[in-house]
Chain A
Amino acid sequence: MVKTVFSIDLPVLENMCILKNRLQPLDLTGNERRVSIVTGIHGDELEGQYICYEIIRRIKENMEHLCGIIDIYPSLNPLGMDSLTRGIPAFDLDLNRCFPGSKEGDMAENAAAKIVEDILGSHLCIDLHSSNIFLREIPQVRMIEENASMLLPYAKLLNLDFVWVHPSATVQNATLAHALNTNGVPTIAVEMGTGMRITKQFGDQITEGIFCLLKEIGMWSGDVILPKTPIVSSEGHRDVTMVHAEASGIFLPAVKHWNSIKKGDVIGDIVNTLTGEIEQHIIAPCDGMVFTLREYPVVNSGSLIVRILGGDL
C-alpha cells in the first residue's frame, strides 16, 4: 500500500512527494511490530534501490511469512535522485544534515520533520546508504560509540562483513540516524558499494541480512540464511588506518577492494598524465584489509585513497 509521507508544491506544475510502501500481514492483530527501511537521503546513492525492490518482491511472493509491518521508503530525496544531485537541488543542502527538521522551516526542514514523525514508533529503522562516487565500500554498518550497546546486537544479524564503531562527530547530530536513535527508534546506518551504481552482490547480501534480522525479532517466519559474523572495529583492538593522497594526479590502484594487504605492499600510484611520471608511489602503512578503495581516478592532495582495517583477519 503506497502512502504519501510528505508532499509540497514546486513552483511549476509539480509536487515533490516522498512515498513509502507499507507491507503488512493480511490479518492484522493490532500488535504487530513495525520496521522502517529507508534509503535515498543522498540523491547519488543508489545501492538501496535494489534492496528495496528485492525485499518487496520477496515479501509479496511469501506474504504468509510476514508477521509485522514493513515500511519501505525508497527515496527520501526524490529531486536529488532524479537529477544526479547528492543534496537537495536548488537548496544546495544535504538532507542528512537537516534532521530532526522543523515544521516551521523551509522545504528541507519540513520534509525532514515529516520523515522523522512518520518513522517514530517503529521498532527499528535501517538506513541504507551507498558510498559517494569517489570511494568503494564493502557492506558495513557505521555507528557511534554511545549507540554501540543498543545497535550492535541488531547489526550483527545483518549478514555484514564489518561494523565500524567510531567516535562521535558533532555534525552527526543532524543526521536521520541520530534523530531517530535519540528518540527511541534504534537506527542502523548501512554503507556499501559506490555512488551512482548498484552492486547486486552487496544488495543480495544485505537483503538476506535484513530477513535474518526480521526473523530474529519475530517479523518473518520464512527460511533465512545463517548470517555472517562481522568484524567489529571496536573488538580485538583493530584500528582503522586511512591513507590519503599526498600528490594530485590520476590514481591507478594496485590493490583489489576487500582484499588483505601487508605492510609495505603497493597500494597504487598517482601519476602525471602530462609528464608520464609517477607523482606518488603509495605503500601500505600496515597489515589489514582494504575495506574502502578510491573509485574515482582523479585525486587532489588529501583525497582518501584507502581505509585499512588492521589486525589479523
Chain B
Amino acid sequence: MHKDIVYSVKSPFRSEMNILGYRFGKGEKSACIVGPTRGNEVQQLYICSQIIKTLSRLEKTGAIVNNNEIMVIPTVNQYSINTEKRFWAMDNTDINRMFPGDEEGETTKRIAAGIFNAVKGFSYGIQFASFHTPGDFIPHVRMMETGYQNTSLANLFGLPYVLTRKPQPIDTGTLNYNWQLNGTNAFSVYTSATDYIDEKSANQAVSSVLRFLTRMGIIKYNCHNGFIATTLEEELLMSIRADVSGIYRRFKEPGEEVTFGDLLAEVVDPIEGEVKSQIIAPSDGIIFFAHGKPLVIENCTVYKLIRRLHE
C-alpha cells in the first residue's frame, strides 16, 4: 500500500486539508474508489475505511492480481466532516456538483479538478454517495443513463438492485456522470445510511466492492455470490406522498414487501396528538426508499415503491 496526497487545500485558520489516495497493487489503472464529497456522509467514510483495511490485508497476502492498481480516496472533504456541514463550509457549494472541475476556478471547482485528474483513466470507478432527499434506501448500485452505462457490470456487485437514472441538468456536475463521459465505467453505491453508521449495510457495501473487484479479475477473494440484481429505472418507481404536514411515524422499512392497503405511516398533529392522516400502500411492492425525518411536509415523498415486485 502506498499513500500519497492527491490534492491539498490551505485554509487561513485550519491545518491543510490533504486529500489522500491509497494505492494498492501496481500496473494498469484498474479500479478507483471514492468516498464522501460531503460532510455528512459518515457511513460512506466508514465503508471506505473498511475497504482500505481489507485491501491492505489482501495486498500483504498477494491477493491483488498482477498489473492492477486500485486507488481509494477515503474522503474528499474532511473539512466539512469535521465541522458537521454537508457542503463546503466556506461557501456552501457541493463538490459533487463541480466535476470535472476547473484548475483555475473557484475553490470547490479546483478540488473537483484535482480529484478528477487523479481518478480519471481508471477502468472502473466506484463512488460512495448520498441522495439530496434525506431518507433510507435499499442498498443498490446507481448509474446515470449517459449512453455509456453498463448495467450488466453493475450487476456484478451482487447487490439486490441496480437503478438507472436519466441525468437532469443538476446531475452533470457529479463525479459519476463525468467519469462515464471520460470512459470510466462508473457506479455509485448507496447503502441504507448516510449520517450515521449502519454496520450491516456498510459490511454489505464492502463485500459488494470486493465481489466486483474479484469478478473483474483485479483481486483474488473468496466471497459469497450475492444477489442477481433486479434492474430498475428510477422514473418507474412509485412515489408515495404525505397529504398533510406534521409529525411522521414510519411503519415500514426499505426492503420490506407490502401489499395494497397496508398501513405504511401516519402523520400526527404536532400539537394535539391526533392522527391526521394514514398513508396506505397504493399497490403491492417492495419499499425502495423511506423518508427518515421525524417531521414531514405535505407533498413530500415518504416512500418510493417498486410496484408489483415480490421478495
Contact = CB atoms under 8 A, between A and B. Distances in A.
Interface string A281-309: 00000000000000000111111100000
A273 B90 CA distance: 18
20 contacts: A10-B297, A11-B295, A11-B297, A12-B271, A13-B270, A92-B86, A93-B132, A106-B299, A107-B297, A107-B298, A134-B91, A171-B173, A174-B168, A244-B105, A248-B10, A273-B12, A298-B12, A300-B11, A301-B10, A302-B107
B232 interface: no
B68 interface: no
A9 B106 CA distance: 38
B9 interface: yes
Interface residues of A, number: 37
B12 A249 contact: yes
Contacts of B109: 302
Contact of B299 (A90, A110, A247, A272): A110
Given A170-B172, A304-B106, A107 B9 contact: no
A247 B298 contact: no
B104 interface: yes
B206 interface: no
B211 interface: no
Nearest to A15: B245
A10 B270 CA distance: 11
A302 B169 contact: no
Interface in B232-252: 239, 244-247
Contacts of B299: 8, 105-107, 110
Nearest to A299: B12
B246 A11 contact: yes
A177 to B, nearest CB: 14
B169 A170 contact: yes
B132 to A, nearest CB: 7
A277 interface: no
B169 A300 contact: no
B170 A300 contact: no
A173 interface: yes
Contacts of B87: 92
A231 interface: no
A104 interface: yes
Interface in B162-195: 168-170, 172-173
Interface string B104-131: 1111111000000000000000000000
Given A92-B86, A244-B104, A244-B106, A300 B10 contact: yes
A136 interface: no
Given A11-B295, A134-B91, A92 B132 contact: yes
Contact of B170 (A97, A134, A298, A303): A97
A240 to B, nearest CB: 14
B86 A248 contact: no
Contacts of A170: 169, 172
Contacts of B86: 92
A8 B109 CA distance: 36
How many chain B residues sit at the interface, stated as a range, is: 35 or more
Interface in A11-46: 11-13
A18 to B, nearest CB: 15
Task: Name the residue in A86, A174, A301 with the highest tally of chain B Cβ atoms < 10 Å from its Cβ.
Answer: A301
A64 to B, nearest CB: 44
Nearest to B14: A248
Nearest to A97: B170
Given A106-B300, A303-B107, A11 B173 contact: no
A300 B9 contact: yes
Contacts of B9: 248, 300-301
A250 interface: yes
B133 A11 contact: no
Interface string B290-307: 000001111111000000
A171 B271 contact: no
B298 A171 contact: no
Contacts of A93: 132
Given A10-B245, A171-B169, A302-B107, A107 B300 contact: yes
A250 B12 CA distance: 7
Task: Name the residue in B12, B109, B172, B247 with the highest tally of chain A Cβ atoms < 10 Å from its Cβ.
Answer: B12
A186 B251 CA distance: 48
Nearest to B270: A12
A105 B91 CA distance: 27
Nearest to A86: B92
B164 to A, nearest CB: 20
B82 to A, nearest CB: 15
Interface in B37-72: none
A161 to B, nearest CB: 24
A8 B245 contact: yes
A49 interface: no
A13 B300 contact: no
B5 to A, nearest CB: 15
B202 to A, nearest CB: 24
Given A8-B298, A9-B298, A301 B245 contact: no
A291 to B, nearest CB: 17
Contacts of A303: 90, 106-107
A132 interface: yes
A268 to B, nearest CB: 15
A300 B77 CA distance: 14
Interface in A182-196: none
A302 B271 CA distance: 48
A302 B109 CA distance: 8
Contacts of B245: 8-11
A41 to B, nearest CB: 15
